[in-house]
Amino acid sequence: MKVALLSRISTSEQSNESALEELKRVALNKGYDIYDVYEEVVSGAKGIEEREQLQRLLSDAKKGCFQAIYVWELSRLSRNLRNLINIIQELDDIGVTLYSFREGVSTDTNSGKMFISLLGIMSQWELSVRADRVARGIEHYRKTHKSWGRKKSITDEQENKVIQLRTDGLSIRNVSKEVGISTASVQRILKTA
Protein backbone atom coordinates (compact mmCIF):
# COMPACT_ATOMS: atom_id res chain seq x y z
CA MET A 1 0.00 0.00 0.00
CA LYS A 2 1.16 3.54 -0.75
CA VAL A 3 0.84 6.26 1.87
CA ALA A 4 1.35 10.01 1.85
CA LEU A 5 2.75 11.92 4.81
CA LEU A 6 1.47 15.41 5.63
CA SER A 7 3.56 17.72 7.78
CA ARG A 8 2.48 21.22 8.72
CA ILE A 9 4.13 23.76 10.97
CA SER A 10 2.88 27.28 11.59
CA THR A 11 6.19 29.17 11.39
CA SER A 12 9.61 28.56 9.87
CA GLU A 13 11.13 28.71 13.38
CA GLN A 14 9.37 25.45 14.25
CA SER A 15 10.51 21.97 13.28
CA ASN A 16 8.45 18.91 12.57
CA GLU A 17 11.40 16.70 11.71
CA SER A 18 11.00 14.26 14.63
CA ALA A 19 7.28 13.81 13.91
CA LEU A 20 8.01 13.13 10.24
CA GLU A 21 10.68 10.58 11.14
CA GLU A 22 8.23 8.80 13.45
CA LEU A 23 5.54 8.74 10.74
CA LYS A 24 8.05 7.34 8.23
CA ARG A 25 9.11 4.67 10.73
CA VAL A 26 5.49 3.61 11.41
CA ALA A 27 4.63 3.43 7.70
CA LEU A 28 7.75 1.50 6.77
CA ASN A 29 7.34 -0.93 9.72
CA LYS A 30 3.89 -1.78 8.36
CA GLY A 31 5.48 -2.51 4.99
CA TYR A 32 3.95 0.51 3.25
CA ASP A 33 5.60 2.53 0.51
CA ILE A 34 5.79 6.29 1.05
CA TYR A 35 4.43 7.97 -2.07
CA ASP A 36 5.39 11.52 -1.08
CA VAL A 37 5.86 13.87 1.86
CA TYR A 38 3.76 17.03 1.74
CA GLU A 39 5.38 19.69 3.92
CA GLU A 40 4.05 23.18 4.48
CA VAL A 41 4.68 26.19 6.70
CA VAL A 42 1.26 27.78 7.17
CA SER A 43 -1.33 28.28 9.89
CA GLY A 44 -3.69 25.34 10.27
CA ALA A 45 -6.55 27.82 10.55
CA LYS A 46 -6.11 28.78 6.87
CA GLY A 47 -8.60 27.42 4.38
CA ILE A 48 -7.72 24.79 1.80
CA GLU A 49 -7.40 27.45 -0.92
CA GLU A 50 -4.52 29.05 1.03
CA ARG A 51 -2.59 25.80 1.55
CA GLU A 52 -0.73 24.73 -1.58
CA GLN A 53 0.61 21.44 -0.22
CA LEU A 54 -2.78 20.39 1.14
CA GLN A 55 -4.30 21.16 -2.27
CA ARG A 56 -1.59 19.06 -3.94
CA LEU A 57 -2.18 16.23 -1.45
CA LEU A 58 -5.93 16.21 -2.09
CA SER A 59 -5.38 16.38 -5.85
CA ASP A 60 -3.01 13.40 -5.73
CA ALA A 61 -5.48 11.53 -3.51
CA LYS A 62 -8.22 12.02 -6.11
CA LYS A 63 -5.86 10.66 -8.78
CA GLY A 64 -5.41 7.47 -6.73
CA CYS A 65 -1.68 8.01 -6.12
CA PHE A 66 -1.94 6.55 -2.59
CA GLN A 67 -4.43 4.79 -0.36
CA ALA A 68 -3.73 6.42 3.03
CA ILE A 69 -2.55 9.69 4.56
CA TYR A 70 -0.51 9.76 7.75
CA VAL A 71 -0.44 12.87 9.95
CA TRP A 72 1.21 13.38 13.33
CA GLU A 73 -2.04 14.74 14.80
CA LEU A 74 -5.37 15.94 13.41
CA SER A 75 -4.46 19.60 14.02
CA ARG A 76 -1.71 19.20 11.40
CA LEU A 77 -4.47 18.61 8.87
CA SER A 78 -6.54 21.59 10.06
CA ARG A 79 -7.17 23.58 13.22
CA ASN A 80 -10.60 24.58 11.96
CA LEU A 81 -13.02 21.83 12.94
CA ARG A 82 -15.36 22.41 10.01
CA ASN A 83 -12.46 22.29 7.50
CA LEU A 84 -11.15 19.15 9.19
CA ILE A 85 -14.51 17.40 8.88
CA ASN A 86 -14.83 18.44 5.22
CA ILE A 87 -11.33 17.18 4.39
CA ILE A 88 -11.93 13.86 6.17
CA GLN A 89 -15.28 13.44 4.37
CA GLU A 90 -13.65 14.20 1.02
CA LEU A 91 -10.96 11.59 1.70
CA ASP A 92 -13.56 9.04 2.78
CA ASP A 93 -15.59 9.67 -0.39
CA ILE A 94 -12.59 8.79 -2.58
CA GLY A 95 -11.58 5.80 -0.43
CA VAL A 96 -8.44 7.25 1.17
CA THR A 97 -7.81 6.35 4.80
CA LEU A 98 -6.59 8.98 7.26
CA TYR A 99 -4.35 7.91 10.13
CA SER A 100 -3.47 10.29 12.98
CA PHE A 101 -0.56 9.05 15.06
CA ARG A 102 -1.08 11.06 18.30
CA GLU A 103 -4.81 10.41 18.54
CA GLY A 104 -4.44 6.82 17.35
CA VAL A 105 -7.35 7.33 14.95
CA SER A 106 -7.74 5.65 11.60
CA THR A 107 -10.78 6.20 9.43
CA ASP A 108 -10.71 2.56 8.28
CA THR A 109 -11.82 1.31 11.73
CA ASN A 110 -15.24 1.48 13.37
CA SER A 111 -13.87 3.39 16.37
CA GLY A 112 -12.11 5.81 14.01
CA LYS A 113 -15.34 6.42 12.11
CA MET A 114 -17.17 6.97 15.41
CA PHE A 115 -14.51 9.47 16.50
CA ILE A 116 -14.88 11.37 13.22
CA SER A 117 -18.68 11.37 13.62
CA LEU A 118 -18.26 12.86 17.10
CA LEU A 119 -16.03 15.54 15.58
CA GLY A 120 -18.84 16.35 13.14
CA ILE A 121 -21.33 16.68 15.99
CA MET A 122 -18.91 18.92 17.90
CA SER A 123 -18.42 21.02 14.77
CA GLN A 124 -22.16 21.64 14.46
CA TRP A 125 -22.37 22.45 18.17
CA GLU A 126 -19.42 24.85 17.90
CA LEU A 127 -21.09 26.69 14.98
CA SER A 128 -24.41 27.08 16.80
CA VAL A 129 -22.72 28.30 20.00
CA ARG A 130 -20.65 30.81 18.03
CA ALA A 131 -23.71 32.08 16.11
CA ASP A 132 -25.66 32.46 19.36
CA ARG A 133 -22.76 34.33 21.00
CA VAL A 134 -22.47 36.74 18.06
CA ALA A 135 -26.23 37.37 17.99
CA ARG A 136 -26.30 38.08 21.73
CA GLY A 137 -23.30 40.41 21.41
CA ILE A 138 -24.93 42.39 18.60
CA GLU A 139 -28.20 42.61 20.53
CA HIS A 140 -26.39 43.85 23.65
CA TYR A 141 -24.43 46.42 21.64
CA ARG A 142 -27.56 47.78 19.98
CA LYS A 143 -29.26 48.15 23.36
CA THR A 144 -26.33 50.00 24.94
CA HIS A 145 -25.17 52.17 22.01
CA LYS A 146 -26.94 54.68 19.81
CA SER A 147 -25.41 53.53 16.55
CA TRP A 148 -24.26 50.33 14.92
CA GLY A 149 -21.14 50.06 12.75
CA ARG A 150 -18.15 52.27 12.26
CA LYS A 151 -18.19 55.79 13.59
CA LYS A 152 -18.77 58.39 10.95
CA SER A 153 -15.40 60.06 10.36
CA ILE A 154 -16.77 62.93 8.27
CA THR A 155 -19.31 65.21 9.87
CA ASP A 156 -22.49 66.50 8.25
CA GLU A 157 -20.97 69.97 8.40
CA GLN A 158 -17.94 68.80 6.37
CA GLU A 159 -20.21 67.11 3.81
CA ASN A 160 -22.23 70.31 3.37
CA LYS A 161 -19.03 72.33 3.00
CA VAL A 162 -17.72 69.91 0.33
CA ILE A 163 -20.92 70.28 -1.70
CA GLN A 164 -20.93 74.07 -1.31
CA LEU A 165 -17.25 74.49 -2.29
CA ARG A 166 -17.63 72.23 -5.30
CA THR A 167 -20.77 74.15 -6.35
CA ASP A 168 -18.70 77.35 -6.05
CA GLY A 169 -16.30 75.89 -8.63
CA LEU A 170 -13.34 74.66 -6.54
CA SER A 171 -11.49 71.61 -7.84
CA ILE A 172 -11.75 68.34 -5.93
CA ARG A 173 -8.15 68.72 -4.79
CA ASN A 174 -8.76 72.25 -3.47
CA VAL A 175 -12.00 71.17 -1.78
CA SER A 176 -10.02 68.36 -0.12
CA LYS A 177 -7.42 70.82 1.19
CA GLU A 178 -10.03 73.32 2.35
CA VAL A 179 -12.14 70.79 4.26
CA GLY A 180 -9.19 68.66 5.47
CA ILE A 181 -10.30 65.30 4.08
CA SER A 182 -8.98 63.04 1.33
CA THR A 183 -9.86 63.52 -2.34
CA ALA A 184 -11.43 60.05 -2.29
CA SER A 185 -13.75 61.17 0.52
CA VAL A 186 -14.65 64.30 -1.44
CA GLN A 187 -15.51 62.19 -4.49
CA ARG A 188 -17.57 59.77 -2.37
CA ILE A 189 -19.56 62.67 -0.86
CA LEU A 190 -20.19 64.17 -4.30
CA LYS A 191 -21.39 60.84 -5.71
CA THR A 192 -24.00 60.47 -2.98
CA ALA A 193 -25.06 64.12 -2.99
Q: What are the distances in angstroms from CA 155 to CA 148, 151, 162, 165, 173?
A: 16, 10, 11, 15, 19
CA distance 85 to 106: 14
Q: Which helix (H) or strand (E) holds 71?
A: strand 68-71
Mean pLDDT, residues 7-11: 75
Give the pLDDT confidence of 33-65 residue by residue, as tens digits: 999 999 887 766 667 788 888 999 999 999 999
Name the percent of the chain lying above pLDDT 70.
Answer: 91
Domain boundaries, the chain: 2-109, 156-192
pLDDT at 45: 64
Enter the DSSP assignment of 48: G
Q: Which CATH number fits domain 2-109: 3.30.470.10, 3.40.50.300, 3.10.290.10, 3.40.50.1390?
A: 3.40.50.1390
Q: Which helix (H) or strand (E) holds 45?
A: none
- Nearest Cα residue to 4 out of 31, 29, 27: 27
Contact 6, 69 (CB under 8 A): yes
Residue 88: CB atoms within 10 Å: 24
- Nearest Cα residue to 33 out of 57, 59, 5: 5
Give the pLDDT confidence of 147-179 residue by residue, as tens digits: 777 767 888 899 999 999 999 999 999 999 999
pTM above 0.75, yes or no: no
CA distance 53 to 31: 25
Give the pLDDT confidence of 97-149 residue by residue, as tens digits: 999 888 888 998 888 888 877 876 776 787 788 889 989 988 888 888 867 77
